[in-house]
Amino acid sequence: MSNRIFCLFFILLSCHLVAQKAVLGKVKKEELAEKVYAKDTSASAVIIFKKAKTTFTYYEENGFESATEFDIKIKIYKKEGFDWANFDIPYYVGYENLNDEYVDIISAYTYNLEGNEIIKEKVVSQSKFKKVINEFWAKKTITFPNVKEGSIIELKYRLKSENISVLPDFQFQYNIPVDYAEYESQVPEFYIYKGMIRGYVKPEVTYNVEPTSQSFNSKIDKTNVGKVMRYNQIVTKYIAKDIPALREEDYVNSINNYYGKIEHELELVRYPDQEPKQIATTWENVAKSIYEEERFGKELKETAYFMSDLNLLIKKDFTKRDRINAVLSFVKTRMNWDEKYGYYTKKGVIKAYQEKVGNVAEINFILLSMLRMAGVEAYPVLISTRENGYAQFPNKSIFNYVIVNVIDEQQSLLLDATDKNSDINILPIRDLNWNGRVIKEDGSSSEIDLMPQLNSKELINIIAQIKPEGQVEGKIRQQYFDYNAYLYRDKYNGLVKESLVDRLEKKYKGIEVTDYEVQNNLDLTKPIIENYNFTTNNSVEVIGDKIYTSPFLFFTLDVNPFKQEVREYPVDFGYPHQDKYNISLTIPEGYVIETLPTPKAVSMPDGLANFKYNISSTEKAVQISYAIDINNAVIGSEYYDALKSFFKELVNKQTEKIVLKKI
């Protein structure tokens, strides 16, 4: 028992000593002279400490308001860390009945070591900028002066909010290491918050109850006499140390979704002499609140402005799917997205329709209303885009986008008319973020899966001849279906032929493309088809009397995209897909096949992915048939080792050589 007590004492003492050092303004020459971060020599910068404390102040007119004070100290090691010299502080401005949140920059400094002297430079007011992101969010940017390799920057700021239903998020993990992170909340006993920790680093948590008081002058009873409010406060402290950088690898929707972070939601209010009141909202409350807003529900009831166009558009013999296709195509063609997000209209659907320009809500509300008037069952779907994160509890501020859900013969379909290249169940990639929320006028709501279920195919047919001198020439036909076709159109529609050829020659190093043509790039009902001839000198090695080549030529995947030893967040491919190759290689006169790779089939657990490789030969040619299926858009981190091994097998198989010998 005594050993356990000693260990606990040692841990608490070490945390106290670290916390004592986490004070702004105490910058040492040794810190500034340090050239590399010993715990992670690849780090471009490190957060020496990040601390925040949330306190509550009572105002007789409005009750309690919260203020959170942040202290941050960052060391810059490399030029790649200079991005930290532009520090963004987002804050919410989308309240309906409350004042906007407010950010106050208390102090900000850059420290440099010049000779043997510490130079401290203050951030001036001209280097503090406010920018409106959308109607819900704004940000304040602080630009630190004279930042160079070795600099230390310090920042203290305060975030004030009248909204106490949530506390500010406290992020304690980034793409650079964090030495020490501490968040403390001092909450009046009247409020009970539910704390949620995101990510894979779990901080230590302590709780205490302390007596406190606040003095204020009463103006309500017109006596202006000083009063004192005494109560207990719940002090919660989170501490995390030596937090590793969470670096982004290939195939992640948004790394911001996986950083360590603390969130708080108000769960219960318990005033003296009153029954406790549950506050934590439900999805039904969120749906009802949004639908009842004039810029949402009222806008969906406007229909007269488009009826003449709709009557001309819909034919008597149209099936329901015909009507869906016709309305979606019409709205995409007529309307142009202004790239503004949100689930409320800005200028209204009528004006947007007249001007042919609108935000997300205006365009998709026009789509939804036209579908309903065409006899199609349709509902709005609230979503949070990939870069915006995802909701961990019912909260309307997390949503930043709205799309349309349609029911056709018991089949649930998703539509987004902001993108000219989208189609039924082919949403813009920004929309593909786990789940959305279907909401209805009666306040009911339900979760809906946003992730594609069917494999999008890419078919590659190659007919090629290997020349004795090592040149390869041939024809290629590539077909892109569904999301593969969407991405092609999104990236390349509008490019001239020369640019499309240049794209291929840059993507596949060492090839020369001729006779290029593309089909169906404007017809969303058909796959994209590319046909072209090619010549390359880079796909074959001639060594003595032998020729070595990969069966996949310049399509060979020769590097495993998954390199991390451990991956703590899911692998997100965006959508399930199948890549299928049919390759015919004619061997040159005077050569025979000496070595041929062997067929192979590999599958991941639970059918998440598989590939099948077949190869055969005749006297004059080699035939290769190969298909890889990624059957889930998202593969959990628990399968990372299996996925990494799967791609290792795939790379090994694709890089095996055909060996031809001269006779």
Is the pLDDT at 4 greater than 90, yes or no? no
**pLDDT score, position 10:** 45
3-state SS assignment for residue 646: helix
Distance in angstroms (rounded) separating the CA atoms of residues 524 and 34:
57
**pLDDT score, position 474:** 98
Is the pLDDT at 19 greater than 60, yes or no? no
State the average pLDDT for the chain. Answer: 94
**pLDDT score, position 578:** 98
- Per the CB < 8 A criterion, the answer to whether 182 and 238 are in contact is yes
pLDDT digits (tens, 9 = 90+) for 558-582: 999 999 999 999 999 999 999 999 9
Give the residue-averaged pLDDT of 656-661: 98
pLDDT digits (tens, 9 = 90+) for 206-248: 999 999 999 877 766 666 667 899 999 999 999 999 999 999 8
Distance in angstroms (rounded) separating the CA atoms of residues 209 and 196:
20
pLDDT digits (tens, 9 = 90+) for 172-200: 999 999 999 999 999 999 999 999 999 99
Is the pLDDT at 20 greater than 90, yes or no? no
**pLDDT score, position 132:** 86
pLDDT digits (tens, 9 = 90+) for 477-491: 999 999 999 999 999
Within 8 A by CB and 6+ apart from 182, the residues are 19, 22, 49, 50, 51, 52, 237, 238, 239, 240
Q: What structural domains does the chain harbor?
A: 37-278 (2.60.40.3140), 283-449 (3.10.620.30), 456-662 (2.60.120.1130)
**pLDDT score, position 12:** 46
**pLDDT score, position 2:** 47
Is the pLDDT at 520 greater than 90, yes or no? yes
pLDDT digits (tens, 9 = 90+) for 405-429: 999 988 999 999 999 999 999 999 9
Is the pLDDT at 9 greater than 50, yes or no? no
Helices in 358-464 by DSSP H: which ranges?
Answer: 360-373
Q: Which of 269-273, 313-317, 413-417 has the lowest mean pLDDT?
A: 269-273
3-state SS assignment for residue 618: coil
Distance in angstroms (rounded) separating the CA atoms of residues 141 and 448:
36
Helices 320-334 and 360-373: crossing angle in degrees, nearest 10, is: 150
3-state SS assignment for residue 182: strand
Give the residue-averaged pLDDT of 114-126: 94
**pLDDT score, position 613:** 98
Query: Which pLDDT band, with edges at 50, 70 and 90, does 127 fall under?
Result: confident
pLDDT digits (tens, 9 = 90+) for 60-99: 888 999 999 999 999 999 999 999 999 999 999 888 788 9
